[in-house]
Amino acid sequence: MATQNLRIPPHSIEAEESVLGALLIDKDAIIAIAEFLKPDDFYDERHKDIFEAAVTLYDERIPLDVHIWQALPIKYLLPRMLSITEK
């Protein structure tokens, strides 16, 4: 069987983390980026989930601070968060 050359798309985990961090630090950051940045723009699935939660909270006019964790379903979030400790 021939092995396929799987190519990893260009991405930057650090840049994704910076964007998510900015959302928590600056309450107006979501306004600046929500129009052009979409969840599918994130390579890391966990980052995609957090960004989707941030947009949902913004749409509902709820602050993005600690409420972001409440916007993620716990049964979905817990296994993903536990995978962080395994890295």
| Residue 78 amino acid letter | L
User: Is 26 among the domain residues?
Assistant: yes
User: Is 29 among the domain residues?
Assistant: yes
User: Is 37 among the domain residues?
Assistant: yes
The number of residues making up the chain comes to: 87
Q: Which domain holds residue 72?
A: 13-86
User: Is 3 among the domain residues?
Assistant: no
Closest alpha carbon to 15 in 34, 42, 36: 42
| Residue 6 amino acid letter | L
Q: What is the CATH number of the domain that holds 43?
A: 1.10.860.10
* pTM of the predicted model as reported, rounded to 2 decimal places: 0.72
* Model pLDDT for residues 46-75, shown as the tens digit of each residue: 899 889 888 888 888 888 776 676 777 665
User: Is 24 among the domain residues?
Assistant: yes
At 14 the pLDDT is 94
pLDDT of residue 37 exceeding 80, the answer is yes
Phi, psi of 51 (to 5 degrees): -65, -40
User: Is 7 among the domain residues?
Assistant: no
At 62 the pLDDT is 83
Question: What is the number of structural domains in the chain?
Answer: 1
Instruction: Give residue 16's pLDDT band: very low, low, confident or very high (50, 70, 90).
Output: very high
Instruction: Give residue 38's pLDDT band: very low, low, confident or very high (50, 70, 90).
Output: very high
